[in-house]
Amino acid sequence: MSLTRDRIDPFSHLTRLVIQYPLRWAVPAVLITLAAAAYAVVHQPKWEASLPMIVRNEATTTAAHQKPGRFERLEQMQTVQETILELSRSRRVVAAALTELGPPAGKSVPAWPTARDVARTRKAVTMTPPQGAVFGKTEVFYLKVKDKHCQRAIDLAAAISRHVQQEYQRLRNRKAESMTTELVRSVKLAQDELNNATGGLADLETRVAGDLAELRILQRSPSGNSDLRRRLNTVENELRAAQQAMMASEELFRLLDEAQTNPGRLLATPNRLLEAQPALRRLKDGLVDAQLATARLEGQLTGDHPEVLAAKAAEEEIGRHLSGELGTAMRGVKVELRLNKLRVVQLEEELAGITQRLQRLASVRAEYGQRLEEIVQLTQVLQSAQQNLAEARASRAAAHVASLITVIDQPETGTQPLGPGRVVILFSGLVGGLVVGLGIVFVTAPLDVTPPAGQPHGTLLTATHPSRSKIWEALFSLQGSA
């Protein structure tokens, strides 16, 4: 029952099918063309109004590296433009713009705008970057609005742009007021904490009292040379000198005491111990000279020689004067020893006082440093909060008088509406109908339309294509009978 396809010319076969089954392609072509014509008559093309706009940053910035009105980062500019996009499509802005324009001509609506009108207009509002740019990468963007009427699309774009600017100013104002309220509390809190820290530092400085300057020097430079440290070094040096003088006085007093019973001990006394006793030193030197003279004369003369006797008498006289001077010298050395001891005690007490003061300063230095660091940090926090508060107040004031969104030009539409025209729609429907009709003919018709002898028309179709549905067979039978 199958046919051989090698003997069939596709073009001639398709031509025969078109001629033999005209209704199969004509009916779909006419129906689709009529549908396209009806759509072309009913369809109203939409006009798209485009309004170029530019956005800038606030000019109240205090950053030294940022120019007024310029965005510091692209993300910041993108965030602002996304906010403007959401505002332009918000229900409040769209409803206000529709209320300002009123209903379209020839449309009477008791409650304008309705929720359906607002929703339809919100879908018709878009924002796009300039051609070739990326949204959020440039300060310029286009507000586009679609409508069935050209002039209404232009008016709607202008109205939406005005209400977007007003709404964005209100948004900035509310944001600045919220920030101002929060920052006022932050400034007050930072000021209270700074006052508490300053009060604690003042109490600590009051406890330190006269050593405050030393504490500050010690805090700035732990190895610094302050007055207290210099006084400590001076007292230590004076104490060592006083202790040495006291030891020398004690040794001299002991030697003088021994010299009262043994004058020879005085002759062995070093001259540095007798520096404070010049008379005793001269008598000692005179006694030594007299002894040397006596010894020299005894070596030259006899013991009863007058010169020898005179030398011995002089030596004895000097010894008597020396013995008498020893008592006076001992009293002077005793007084000097007592004064040296008092001096040592005084210097030791002063040294202990200075050491105690330094220890007290060292004990409070860590707390003093922490309080100073806390005050520095709190001062920085307060300054930052005050700066942010000043910027927020300036932003709130600027929100009432200036807009960050600027319209570059008037909204305009193209010379043609969006989408294809009526002629194009009708021609497309005609071509589409023909294509569909020919496709139906090509798919449903048999390969060889000439049935064998003795076989009814349509039997070959069923035998060649046993999988076709009975609906198609009924249609083909009707066509064959026609």
Can you tell me the distance from the alpha carbon of 475 to that of 414, in angstroms, rounded to the nearest whole number?
50
Contacts of 22 (CB under 8 A, 6+ apart): none
Can you tell me the distance from the alpha carbon of 161 to that of 54, in angstroms, rounded to the nearest whole number?
11
Can you tell me the distance from the alpha carbon of 13 to that of 448, in angstroms, rounded to the nearest whole number?
8
Cis peptide before 222 (omega within 30 of 0): no
**73-82, 153-162, 304-313, 360-369: least confidently modelled range:** 304-313
Cα 47 to chain centroid distance, Å, stands at 47
102 conformational bin, left if phi > 0, alpha if psi -120 to 50, beta if neither: left
Short-list 365, 375, 362, CA closest to 200: 375
CA distances from 148 to 108, 156, 417, 418 (A): 17, 11, 9, 10
**319-328, 333-342, 369-378: least confidently modelled range:** 319-328
Can you tell me the distance from the alpha carbon of 116 to that of 70, in angstroms, rounded to the nearest whole number?
40
DSSP label at residue 333: H
Q: Average pLDDT for residues 45-63, to the nearest whole number?
A: 80
Taking a C-beta distance cutoff of 8 angstroms, is the pair 23, 479 a contact? yes
Per DSSP, which regions of 262-369 are E strands? none
Cβ atoms within 10 Å of 371's Cβ, excluding its own: 19
Give the tens place of pLDDT for each residue, 236-255. 888 898 888 888 778 777 77
Taking a C-beta distance cutoff of 8 angstroms, is the pair 305, 315 a contact? no
- Residue with the larger pLDDT of the pair 110 and 280: 110
Give the tens place of pLDDT for each residue, 170-208. 888 888 888 888 889 989 999 998 899 888 888 887 777
Q: Where are the alpha helices (DSSP H) in 209-305?
A: 212-220, 227-261, 264-267, 278-300
Q: Is the pLDDT of residue 168 over 80?
A: yes
**14-23, 211-220, 395-404, 460-469: least confidently modelled range:** 460-469
What's the pLDDT score for residue 160?
Answer: 92
Contacts of 410 (CB under 8 A, 6+ apart): 51, 154, 158
